[in-house]
Amino acid sequence: MTTFTVSIRFSCLVTLWVFTMVFSGFAHAQAGRVSIGTVPPVQLEAPIEMPSWFSNGTPGNDAWIALGALEQAASHGLNPADYQAEALATAFQTVRNGAGAEQLSRLDERLTTAVVRYLSDLNVGRLDPQELQHRFQKPVSGAFDARSYLAEVRQADRLDEALQKPRENIPMYEALRSMMNEYRAMGDHPAWLATLPPLQSRSLKPGAEWSGLPIVAARLGAMGDLPRGIPTSTLYDGALVEAVRRFQERHGLETDGVLGRATLVELNVTPAQRVKQMALTLERLRWTPLLRGPRMIVVNIPEFMLRAYEVVDGKVEIELEMRVVVGRALDTRTPIFLEDMRSIEFSPYWNVPLSIARGETLPRLRRDPGYFSREGFEIVTRDGRVVNELTDDAIAAVQRGEWRIRQRPGPRNSLGDIKFIFPNDQNIYLHHTPSTGLFPRARRDFSHGCIRVEMPLELARFALKLQPEWTPKRIEDAMSAGRSRTVALREPIPVLLAYSTVVIKNSGKVYFFPDIYQQDGKLEQALRTLRPSN
């Protein structure tokens, strides 16, 4: 799937990841074209007073609309208890037959406070992403004034509309919300009330028998992976194998059709657990800056996918999508942030980070000095002098951090033949790689934190689209020149490294991906701390 502010004025020209849509991910929600137009704001010349929720001493129509929306807050992944939905509904029922002015005044303000909170949560989220160490922010203070917005929509008789969806159209939001509510309706399905028996071996391959297959078939049928009316038995073959492959594809697994441990773990996740996962994704979508500009690049880390898109006539059009390799979950995680791509380096040098030099490169050079010349390394002194001879003194200087080691451009360079630069304080960038064998894998967290891209030429063409002098032939020549050259982009392109474990794509199908960096767990805990009722 993130990242990814949510309450953005289109007049500022949208802020974007497609999650995504990354979360596509995010932009596939409407067959590759997703409207990002906004509901026209009510034009008012001066602030207006909040209308009362009561008419002639009894609750008006707006009151019941508001109470209904608060009671249905879970349909947006929000918690009705945060807005005192049940208590307010009871109180308003109590005063239907009349109440004193003081009681009505208190109740009027209680409902206003609850709806203002709900509108704020719906439009900009409950949490500041920086609390999760994401390097982007919610809208600045005052960018969305929920109380003024409530007064505006009530005066314009648009309360129902305003309470049913965020003010700005958020990529993938409505499709994900609809899917979440489908899974919620699946909560009492008998397929998850039964327990799968243990396998007799480590995995079940096509052609084998297992007594748990009818339960598996029932779950796959409920989720739409197995067509209705397919007869099932204890023999694992035919349509059931194909259904398992579809399930594996939708859950970020190897699509081998084998019922192994990883596939069974995902099959045992209940609809209620998926609802919670989708609710967390909706929260993340509300504050992930998915619409930052007219052109954007979004990497959804758990999905191991990159998408590049443009906003054309108010719609998001995906220009490019490709597989990527991201940082290892164990120790070198790719950070979540938003920065502007400003340049491209063709035939780049690789300046080996000191941590990698100390932990990997120098130990290898001590064991095998010939590795230095075979891999095209050189050492650069503090004053910029290049040293092409490996000596004990040079190794010691690099170890101390006084000198640095780098790899020359060429076919063995770890960055491949191109590097996409979006300056940041963590030295993260996109780049090609001479080792392409990892891209076909389902799980692709193998890097030191930077992001390896599958289709560098196509990404370069997208980045340089506004610079027509950079033809495809000229780009290819620069990539293969063997001489480092840096080209500044005429217009910076926002690059969002986002995080979404749920994505709606491929004609409305829902995809779930492993929470490789435990970000869903951290978000859930942060929300629980912020709102103990959750």
Rounded CA-CA distance 234/222 in Å is: 18
Distance CA 226, CA 233 (A): 14
| HEC letters along 89-157 | HHHHHHHHHCCCHHHHHHHHHHHHHHHHHHHHHHHHCCCCHHHHCCECCCCCCCCCCHHHHHHHHHHCC
CA distance 122 to 7: 10
Cross-strand partners of 315: 35, 312
Q: Report how far residue 364's alpha carbon sits from residue 379's, in angstroms, rounded to the nearest whole number.
A: 15
- Report the distance separating Cα 10 and Cα 5, nearest Å: 12
SS3 label, residue 294: coil
Parallel, antiparallel, or unpaired for β 430-431 and 451-453?
parallel
C-alpha span between 117 and 417 (Å, rounded): 51
- Tell which residue, 442, 433, 372, has the closest CA to residue 405: 372
Q: What angle do CA 145, 148, 67 make, to 5 degrees?
A: 100
Catalytic residue IDs:
431, 450
Sheet holding 377-380, edge to edge: 350-351, 404-407, 377-380, 386-387
Answer left, alpha or beta for residue 109, where phi above 0 means left and psi between -120 and 50 means alpha.
alpha
Rounded distance between C-alpha atoms, residue 124 and residue 190, angstroms = 37
CA distances to 40, 57, 66, 211, 240 from 265, in Å: 46, 56, 40, 17, 17
**Which residues are registered as beta bridge partners of 405?**
379
Tokens of 28: 């596939």
**Torsions phi, psi of 61, nearest 5?**
-60, -40
Q: Are 347 and 481 in contact (CB under 8 A)?
A: yes
Is residue 338 within 8 A of residue 3, CB to CB? The reply is yes
Q: Find the angle CA(381)-CA(382)-CA(385) to the nearest 5 degrees.
A: 40
192 closest CA partner among 133, 271, 302, 264: 271
